[in-house]
Amino acid sequence: MSAAPQALARLLLRAGGAAPALERVFPRPAPLAIEIGFGSGEALAWWAARRPEWNFLGFELAQESVARAAAALDTASLGDRVRLLHGDARHLLREIVPPGVAVRVLMQFPMPWPKARHAKHRLTDAGFLDAVASALAPQGRFELVTDQDRFAREMLDALTRHPALVAGPLEPDPPRTFRTRYERRWIAEGRRIWRLAAVPSRPAALAPLANPAAMDHLHLVAPLTADALRALAGRRFGSAESVREIQEVFAAADGWLLRVLTADAGFAQRFFLRIELRDGGAAPLLRVDACARPFQTPAVSALLADVRDALAPR
């Protein structure tokens, strides 16, 4: 099943740039429930139909899953109570969800990333749990369901060590009102299902990394040479906590286009910077391109300054 364009237009939130205010996303105030990794959207649709008094927000990294879920949710006629986000919940949760508003955060069968070299992708790190703790309301609940025993125990250990979350016991083969089609298949194959829940022990609000008021453009010093601009390709700036890289440089009709990458403590964003050459001797303008607009994080602002300084006359 593929999503009709109107379904994606109605259900998908565009997260780049300034974070959308949830009071403008949903037409009515209501408790907020979140599913991380909604896949085809079957569980999210069932959940939203069962709790008509709540608003729902879904995060999903796979683009094709977002398309399928948008079609399914549109068919389910759930009104304006469900919205979807395409991206990494480890970071978007902090940028999108205000502190203390989520009554439920559900994560079902996430990728366990079992190999050691993939450990950085696991959703058991302190940064992800900090974002969950920040999002949860005082009486909220985080719930993980997985078929991976090792991942469940790793999450239990991480939750036990977290200062703002209290984990319950790990439940083997819990009774569940709704099971996804993959869950039913795995049970038929004899796999065990594990459930783990946690509740907040104290407020743990996180401020978003992005600053919508930060400048998204700078003026450059003319003249700029083609050799200096092409030499930017492959340049890297920053540190482990603030990665800033210019990957490719392209000549454009009105100037130059830079394909870049930034990362703030692991929050990676890929986007374009545009250099506009203007008539009349006006200073060239370096700005964030409107296509795939990023959150204006400290690394994004720093990269603008990096490019300006790299092109400044010696």
pLDDT tens for each residue of 4-33: 677 877 888 876 666 677 878 898 899 999
pLDDT tens digits, one per residue of 212-265: 889 999 999 888 999 999 999 999 998 878 999 999 999 988 899 999 999 998
Quote the CA–CA distance of 240 and 242 in Å, as a whole number: 6
Quote the CA–CA distance of 310 and 57 in Å, as a whole number: 41
The pLDDT assigned to 111 comes to: 79
pLDDT tens digits, one per residue of 176-210: 999 988 889 989 999 999 999 999 999 999 999 99
- Beta strand 165-167 with 194-200 is antiparallel
Burial label, 251 (beta-carbon count in 10 A; 0-12, 13-18, 19+): exposed
Model confidence at 117, pLDDT cuts 50, 70, 90, reads low
The mean per-residue pLDDT over the stretch 34-44 comes to 93
The pLDDT assigned to 6 comes to: 78
CB of 141 within 8 A of CB of 105?
yes
- Which letter does DSSP use for residue 280 in this model? T
Would the pLDDT of 1 be above 50? Answer: no
Would the pLDDT of 3 be above 50? Answer: no
The mean per-residue pLDDT over the stretch 292-311 comes to 94
The pLDDT assigned to 217 comes to: 95
- Beta strand 102-108 with 32-36 is parallel
